[in-house]
Structures are given as C-alpha cells and as structure tokens.
Amino acid sequence: MKKKTSFSTKGQRADIGDLTIYRMLANRYTDAVGPFVFLDHIVPKMHPSTMNSGTGAHPHRGIATLSYIMEGEDEHFDSAGNYAKVYSGGIQWMKAGNGIIHDETLNIDSQTGSNRTHAFQFWINLPAKNKAEKPEYLAVQSNEVPQKKLPNNAGRIKVIVGNFEDLNSKIPNYSEQFLYHIQLEPGKNFTISIDQRIEVAAFLPTKDATLNDEEFQAGEFVEFDRNAGEIVFDNKLPEAADILLFGGEPYTEPIVAEGPFVMNSRVEIAEAYRDFYAGKYGNIKYEKSESNY
C-alpha cells in the first residue's frame, strides 16, 4: 500500500549574506519530522570568486547540526577546537550537547574550481539524556559517504544519516533516524518501504518529481502519513532529479525551541542562555584551529 501525503509546502525566505536560503522546517504544519527539527535549503547559486557567506560565531545546545554540501566548500570552526573543510558531497556534523559555539562558512569549491554553491543544514534533536553530554564533531568527505546504485539502473542512493540495506553512515544515531539523497535518472522510478509510526518527509531541491502518483514541484517539502507503506518516486523529466528523504521515530519528549537552543523545558532554555552569557561554551580560537588541520 502506498503512503498518503499529509501536506506539502514551500519554505520561507531567510537569506544570509550572499546565500539565498529557504527555511523548510519548522513550517506552518509541523515542528519536527522524527528527530529533525530544522531544515534550511541553501539554493543552487553562481558566485564570484569572493563571497559573504558566513553565519558568524553563534551557540547551540541540545541538538546536533548537520550540513550536507552538494556543491561548494564548507569551513567549520568551533569552541571545542575542531576545524575542518569539507567539499562538494561532504558532511559537517556537530553534536552541540551541553553547549558549543561554532562558525561555518560556505564558499565556492577550491578543489574543483566550480563557482556554484548548494547545501542543506539540518538540526537533529537529541534525546534529553544526550543533551547534557559533551560536544562532538565529525567531518565526512564525499568519498566517505556510503552510496550504491539503485535497481534497474534507476540512479543512486547516498546514506547521509542512518542506514539503508548494507550501507551505514558514519554519523552517530541517538534514535532511529535516516537521511537519504536519492538521485533518480530520467524516466526511472524507485520504491522504498517505510515502517509503521515512522515519520518521513521528502524534499525536492531542484526538479519536479512524482511521489506516489502525485506531482510535486521543485522546492516543495512533502510529509507523509505514519502508516506503514511504500513511497514510489517517479522521474518523468528528461534529466536526473535529486530527492532528499528523511525522518525517523517520533520524538516523544517535550520540545521547547528558542533561537539556537532546543531543549525540553523553558527552564532549560533559560539555563542555556545563562551558561552561554557566562562564557561556559568557550571561545573559538581561529588561528589555533587552523594550525591543527
């Protein structure tokens, strides 16, 4: 049985510097899909050799941030001393835990010379017991992202988070969760089965696609019901299409989000701000971080 669509929507504009951004999650219909509580789509864009694309140093607590760079170069600094650059196809993952400050800058890819950028940032909510843990960080380059061909030469699937068949992402799991990048060839289709109660959404970043016989436009965020069933992706276009599919088990603890913090109560939000202003998240030492790379 095919899963039914719960809703579809397009994001709100939320530009930063030279980057054109659409905020897809949270939206007017839902605050979360499984553990995912935030999704910004940095849309494909051509840039000159210099860009103003940094978020600036800012704190997080209670979540893991995940940046998936389809095109471009992402540079990461944080107050725990972590530093790395990932390039087109790579991933930056950071568990904020009990508090960290980070700074990310998206730029053109110095390895390929391409002047296009295209990326996504997700926030993954942590279970209450993990919100108090120390921060962690992981950089995953494109060649480290598990992927495989789809049946019948339909395309490829990349496992950004979670697992699919024999593929397992390096990104830690604190609950059942998954994030797939499906690349579907022209005239091809692919079917995936979703278990009962699992929350799941699809996002079409650049091309139209047909999901369970219903046509959706590029830029649409589509959430499905929680009944067990299949999602059939059809690409009726003369060119390949990209689809992000993500979700997981429902987050059953209270969710209280404010600014860069996602906690389980208003008291914890107040504590997060108090600890930040008290300097407990540390400071980014940019020169030291670069020297350790």
Q: How many domains does the chain have?
A: 1
User: In angstroms, rounded to a whole number, what is the distance separating the alpha carbons of residues 54 and 172?
Assistant: 26
pLDDT of residue 278: 98
* pLDDT, averaged in runs of 10, over the chain (293 residues): 96 89 95 97 84 81 98 96 97 97 93 91 97 97 98 97 97 97 98 97 97 97 97 97 98 96 98 98 83 55
Q: What is the pLDDT of residue 148?
A: 97
Own/partner pairs for 279-283, CB < 8 Å, 24+ apart?
280/99, 281/59, 281/61, 281/79, 281/99, 281/100, 281/101, 282/79, 282/80, 282/100, 282/101, 283/79, 283/101
Q: What is the pLDDT of residue 290?
A: 65
pLDDT at res. 293: 52
Q: What is the pTM of this model?
A: 0.95
Q: What is the DSSP letter of 79?
A: T
Which has the closest alpha carbon to 204: 246, 172, 171, 247? 246
Q: What is the Cα–Cα distance from 68 to 42, expressed in whole angstroms?
A: 10
Which two structure tokens, joined as six digits, stand for 246? 């993500």
**152: phi > 0 → left, psi -120 to 50 → alpha, else beta; which?**
left
pLDDT at 50: 65
What's the CATH number where 26 sits?
Answer: 2.60.120.10
Distance (Å, whole) CA 114 – CA 34: 35
pLDDT at 141: 98
Q: What is the pLDDT of residue 27?
A: 95
* Pairing verdict, β 73-78 and 83-87: antiparallel
The neighbour count for residue 101, using CB atoms within 10 Å, is 20
Query: What pLDDT is stored for residue 52 in this prediction?
Result: 61
Percentage helix, strand, coil for the chain under 3-state DSSP, each rounded to 5: 10, 50, 40
Within 13 Å and on the Cβ side, how many CA atoms surround 28? 6
> pLDDT over 90 for what percent of the chain?
89
Q: Residue 236 has what pLDDT?
A: 96
Q: Which two tokens stand for residue 27?
A: 């939206």
Q: What is the pLDDT of residue 136?
A: 97
Residue 259's domain spans which residues? 5-291
Residue type, 71: E
CB atoms within 10 A of CB 46: 9
pLDDT of residue 18: 83
Residue 138: what pLDDT? 98
- 201-214 burial: b if 16+ Cβ within 10 Å, else e: bbbbbbbebbbbee
Side-chain half-sphere CA neighbours of 96 within 13 A: 30
Alpha-carbon distance values, 232 to 155, 193, 213, 214 (Å): 14, 9, 8, 10
